[in-house]
Amino acid sequence: MSQAIQQKFVHQVIGHSSEQNRLATTKKLGKGKAPVNIALSKYWGKRDSVLNLPTNSSLSISLPGLGTETKIEVLNPQTTQEDQVYLNGQPLEASNAFANRVSRFLNFFRATPQTFFKVTTVNSVPTAAGLASSASGYAALVLALNDLFSWNLDNKALSLLARFGSGSASRSLFSGFAIWHQGQQADGLDSYAEAIETTWPEFCVGLLEIDVKQKPVSSTQGMQNTVETCALYQAWPKQANQDLQTLLKAIELKDFETLGKTAEHNALTMHATMIATWPPIVYWQPESVEAMHKIWHLREQGVQVYFTMDAGPNLKLLFLETEKPAIKQAFKAIKVLEPFKD
């Protein structure tokens, strides 16, 4: 039943009248490229896991120069009976978790059961380490499919398809700030992301990598466990939507202090629900907590810097260009990105 619902969703988004029209291609290769995005107001929890529908809206900033490039081509069915998936130059076995997830997503785009694809993906960030590689990965894959099949989909439709692969991917189709609307419809057609047309040239994001190994609990599993076992989670959707409205106003007014405080508190609130889950989910490492204390100490000294964290141990620092020297002095290994300049 769930597969039929998913297939109907994909058909509605692509919009062609027949299977043959949707999945026919004369092109040999499709390409897509998408940035990672860092949520300032987090997505944590699904109201519908079949269609990847969130319990709350969210807001992000994309990071230029970091993300995923993907190529996809249709293989000759006479020479292979399975997809070929390459990640950062390495072929993956069909049983590999990443390759298996990609193939399950591609099941919705096969002209026949004997249609197989070669997918070549290059990530410029570590995979499954809490640095948003799945977001850029599925956004890039959807763009490559759109190119391969010449669908000519608009950004809303592309965002819907990317969300279907990975919720946060809905936001990785855009540069700068983006908002992902939670939507209300059961069919999921009103849950998509769109760009926020505000630029902020002084805005900086610093990547502080604590541990880039694959995390022990995936975001998908972590969300499910939190929703099912954490009593504190009941307060999360309301708080998250309030935070989003505060952030939208702060972006409009370029009120950095409000943006920073809200984003940091939002991230800590999300992690609080994880910690209160059973069994507890603690993505932080000792170095993560040490970095938090250093950031709080810097603020006491008058440096306007805040942080956010996704489902992983790594911190993303938020600050304006004027604070860059102090940040680089405090965190020698930090990688500074300027989303509206790079």
pLDDT of residue 129: 44
pLDDT of residue 131: 56
Residue 267 has pLDDT above 90, yes or no: yes
For residues 175-181, give the mean pLDDT.
97
DSSP 16-28: -SSHHHHH----S
The single residue listed with the structure tokens 């929703």 is 227
pLDDT of residue 20: 54
The answer to whether the beta carbons of residues 105 and 145 sit under 8 Å apart is no
For residues 2-26, give the mean pLDDT.
80
Q: What is the pTM of this model?
A: 0.93
- Token pair in block for residue 252: 């409009």
The answer to whether the beta carbons of residues 271 and 130 sit under 8 Å apart is no
In tens, the pLDDT along 62-104 reads 998 899 999 999 998 888 889 999 999 999 998 998 899 999 9
For residues 296-304, give the mean pLDDT.
98
DSSP single-letter state for residue 75: P
- Domain 203-337 CATH (choose: 3.40.50.10090, 3.40.50.720, 3.40.50.300, 3.30.70.890): 3.30.70.890
Domain ranges of the chain: 2-195, 203-337
pLDDT mean across residues, the chain: 93
DSSP single-letter state for residue 329: H
Q: For the domain bounded by 2-195, which CATH number is listed? A: 3.30.230.10
pLDDT of residue 214: 79
* Structure-model confidence comparison of residues 17 and 313, the more confident one: 313
Express as a percent the part of the chain with pLDDT over 70: 96
pLDDT of residue 340: 96
Tell me the CB-side half-sphere exposure of residue 271, using CA atoms within 13 A: 21
Least confident of 207-216, 217-226, 274-283, 303-312: 207-216
Residue 236 has pLDDT above 60, yes or no: yes
Find, among 342, 332, 336, 308, the residue nearest to 322 by Cα: 336
First to last CA, the chain: 45
In degrees rounded to 5, what are phi and psi of residue 123?
-100, 135
From the number of C-beta atoms within 10 Å of its C-beta (0-12, 13-18, 19+), residue 210 rates as buried
pLDDT of residue 127: 56
For residues 246-259, give the mean pLDDT.
98
pLDDT of residue 211: 86
pLDDT of residue 109: 95
Find, among 164, 10, 73, 165, the residue nearest to 85 by Cα: 73
Cα(201)–Cα(335) distance, integer angstroms: 17
The answer to whether the beta carbons of residues 13 and 160 sit under 8 Å apart is yes
Query: Which run of H or of E encompasses 178?
Result: strand 177-180
The answer to whether the beta carbons of residues 257 and 305 sit under 8 Å apart is no
Range 264-289 burial, b when 16+ CB lie within 10 A, else e: bebbebbbebbeebeeebebbeeebe
Residue 16 has pLDDT above 70, yes or no: no
Helix (H, G, I), strand (E, B) or coil at 336: strand
